[in-house]
Amino acid sequence: MTEQLIEKIETMEKKHEKEKHQREKEYPKSSLTLKIYRANRRAGESPHYDRIEVPVQRWTTVLDALLYAKAYKDQSIGIRYSCRMASCGSCGMKINGIPRLACYTKVSELPGREITVEPLSNFPHIRDLVTDFSQFFAHHHNVEPYIQNDIADMQEKNKLTEFIQTPEDVDKYLQFSYCIKCGLCYSACPTVATDTQFAGPQALSQAYRYFIDNRDTAPKERLNLVDNRHGIWRCHFAGSCSAVCPKGVDPALGIQLLRGHLLGYSKNEKKVAELEERQKRD
Amino acid sequence: MVSGGFYTICASGEKILEMEKEVADRNNREGMMGWLNPRRYGWERVSYWLQRLTGVGLLAYFIAHIYETSQIAGGPALWEAFLELTQTTLGHIILIVVIGMCVYHSANGIRLIFVHGGKGLGKPGRPDYPYDAVSLNYRQKSGIWIALILALVAMLYGASVLFGGE
Amino acid sequence: MEHLCSLGANNKKMAMLRESQIMKIHYITGVAAIFVVAVHIMMRIAIMPYGMSLEYENVIANYQNIPYIVLLESILVLVSIHGFNGLRVILLELRQSKKWEDGVTVLTIAAMIALIAYGTRTIIIANGLGFE
């Protein structure tokens, strides 16, 4: 299994290297134009695009280009960013029409000499490239994204110990725990485009993450939370969420697996993780 | 914090932000264009778009068909009159399109019944570069292509029956 | 676990069926409809040439065949349920307010019943016509 995986990764890496070399051969770009969406509705500024020329190098990311534009050309550009390494999820935006992380998208990956950057759709717009994530976080809050365990006694401090989870138990939810709440999936989802009460792929995949975690003892309640008119059933597996996810979370997989439990394809019983026996201390 | 949002109280007494249920915040939502634009995201998005389109098309055809067949209750003259309307080149073309829609919607629907329960999507694991999604695999994707091919074959067969004069 | 606040809670008062039950019906009616529609299409092209099968006498003769009537009625019921539920889903996603959602639910159920009734009327009348 591991060997097959290694072989698969090596084949993919060779393919990516080849494509990269191909692009670099065609790439003597030293500058390109950023077409940036500008709008500030609260100040009465109507939407328009500003075109700003920025110098780029082989390794320049879209975020680098935007920050250059902000530093040297137009200080008023509104951008949200933080870690610059695809870890915080702050710099999500539409790049050439597709939701991507600006720090994780190299300009060399994009065709042509003009890159269009726009704010993420399906999020209320604040200014320029900045959007409001409150609704998104509220949907996440509503799925109760924390372990609920009635069995283990976690109140008394001297009884606190760890849950015993095998690597197989962890593998069931690990990839879903890699979610950085960047919102790209929410922006790409066709149901979120019209349904304001739909939780969105991020919240639903987190519902699965906690559902399948064997430290959680509230699976039935979690299923009830999503089994409603604007819940899990409004996902139609358009797969766009997984197509844009930068961390390999594959929210579509989580949602369909959770739905499998609702449909009766998968058994709902899971062996709840036990607390390790705490050794007596002298 | 969000301006214009309001709170609801949960059973435990905690306040949580409730989406504006009646006055939904549609600010910057893609709206129907999010449904109607099938490009950008791959085959699954195309299949979603086609499934929706064919579903609505088939429902419209079904209603028209129930009306059309009800003409039999009016006697032979009414029935023949209606046949003259439908057994035309345009009528045949519409029927061929309906055949295609029906076959695609059925075949893709069967695929969806499986994938909606997580069958054929693979298992969760430990993601690694380039972070390709396991669920967007060729096994279930080929179901979309098979549905399209079956629809095309059915349309060709339908055309041969309708225009072939069998 | 005590603090369960559900998503989209405003539908609970109207719902007699859970959404999961409705969608299971949607899937089952979809699969069943494939079979009955396939038989219906076969009847049009396999027994006699397509053009001939549409002649008045042949159509009326079909309506005297009880198993065929049962088939037609099943198509009517299965496809109506599946189709109008699909329409309900599309309309629910389009707009969200209590008025709209309740209206969509009522109208799609009413349309479903009306279409089934109208189709059944055709079957009964056509069946009666064969005895004249």
DSSP per residue over B52-64, as a string? HHHHHHHHHHHHH
| Domain assignment present for A270 | no
Q: What is the mean pLDDT of chain B?
A: 83
| Domain assignment present for A273 | no
| Domain assignment present for C6 | no
**Same-domain status, A191 and A90:** no
Q: Do C9 and A229 touch (CB under 8 A)?
A: no
**Same-domain status, A69 and A80:** yes
ipTM of the complex model = 0.85
Beta strands A92-95 and A114-118, pairing class: antiparallel
* Domain boundaries, given as residue ranges, for chain B: 40-164
* Partner C contacted by A199 (CB < 8 A): yes
Chain A environment of C18 (Cβ under 8 Å)? 227-228
| Domain assignment present for A281 | no
Residue pLDDT, tens place only, B19-76: 433 333 567 888 888 888 888 899 999 999 999 999 999 999 999 999 999 988 888 8
Retrieve residue B37's tokens. Answer: 């634009």
Q: Do B124 and A193 touch (CB under 8 A)?
A: no
Retrieve residue B102's tokens. Answer: 């029906």
Which of C57, C79, C89 should be substituted to probe chain B, the one whose Cβ sees the most B Cβ atoms within 10 Å?
Answer: C79
Q: Do A197 and C7 touch (CB under 8 A)?
A: yes
Retrieve residue A41's tokens. Answer: 């509705």
Q: Which chains have at least 3 CB atom pairs separated by less than 8 Å from chain A?
A: B, C
Which of B10, B16, B109 has its CB closest to that of C30? B109
Query: Which of B97, B105, B106 shows the shortest CA–CA distance to B162?
Result: B97
The CATH number that applies at residue A107 is 3.10.20.30
The CATH number that applies at residue C80 is 1.20.1300
**Same-domain status, A118 and A143:** no
Question: Which segment of A41-50, A73-82, A112-121 scores lowest on mean pLDDT?
Answer: A41-50
Chain A environment of B51 (Cβ under 8 Å)? 236
What residue of A is the nearest CA neighbor of C105?
Answer: A229
Scan residues 104-143 of A and list those with Cβ closer than 8 Å to C. 139, 142-143
Alpha carbon distance B147, B149 (integer Å): 5
Which of A138, A239, A260 has its CB closest to that of B16? A138
Q: What's the number of domains chain C is made of?
A: 1
Alpha carbon distance C21, C102 (integer Å): 18
Residue pLDDT, tens place only, A134-168: 999 999 999 999 998 887 776 777 777 788 899 99
pLDDT surpasses 70 at B13: no
Residue A202's domain comprises 134-263
Contact A99, A184 (CB under 8 A): yes
Highest mean pLDDT among A147-161, A172-186, A255-269: A172-186
| Domain assignment present for A94 | yes
DSSP H or E stretch at residue A265: none
Q: Among A64, A96, A131, where does a domain finish?
A: A131
Q: Do A122 and B117 touch (CB under 8 A)?
A: no
Scan residues 23-52 of B and list those with Cβ closer than 8 Å to C. 24, 32, 52
Region for A54 from its dihedrals, namely left if φ exceeds 0, alpha if ψ lies in -120 to 50, beta otherwise: beta
**Same-domain status, A127 and A161:** no
Crossing angle of helices B89-115/B43-69, nearest 10°? 130
**Same-domain status, A150 and A97:** no
Q: Phi, psi at residue A254, to the nearest 5°?
A: -60, -40
Chain C environment of A195 (Cβ under 8 Å)? 92-94, 96
What residue of B is the nearest CA neighbor of C26?
Answer: B113
Which of B11, B62, B73 has its CB closest to that of C125? B73
C25-45: burial string, b at 16+ Cβ within 10 Å, e else = ebbebbebbbebbeeeeebee
Cα separation values, B20 from A102, A131, A193, B13, B27, Å: 30, 17, 16, 20, 12
Residue type, C63: Y
Query: Which of A234, A210, A264, A148 shows the shortest CA–CA distance to C4?
Result: A148
CA distance to partner chain C, nearest, from residue B85 (Å):
13
CATH of domain B40-164: 1.20.1300.10
pTM above 0.80, yes or no: yes
Cα separation values, A276 from A160, A171, A212, A257, B61, Å: 9, 20, 20, 29, 63
Retrieve residue A31's tokens. Answer: 């500058």
| Domain assignment present for A119 | yes
| Domain assignment present for A279 | no
CA distance to partner chain A, nearest, from residue C96 (Å):
7
| Domain assignment present for C114 | yes
Alpha carbon distance A260, A262 (integer Å): 5
Interval A210-221 mean pLDDT: 90
Which of C28, C50, C64, C72 should be substituted to probe chain B, the one whose Cβ sees the most B Cβ atoms within 10 Å?
Answer: C50
Q: What's the number of domains chain A is made of?
A: 2
Alpha carbon distance A261, A223 (integer Å): 8
**Same-domain status, A125 and A138:** no
Q: Phi, psi at residue B144, to the nearest 5°?
A: -65, -45
Cα separation values, A30 from A19, A37, A264, B23, Å: 20, 23, 57, 48
Query: Which of B43, B42, B48 shows the shortest CA–CA distance to B109?
Result: B48
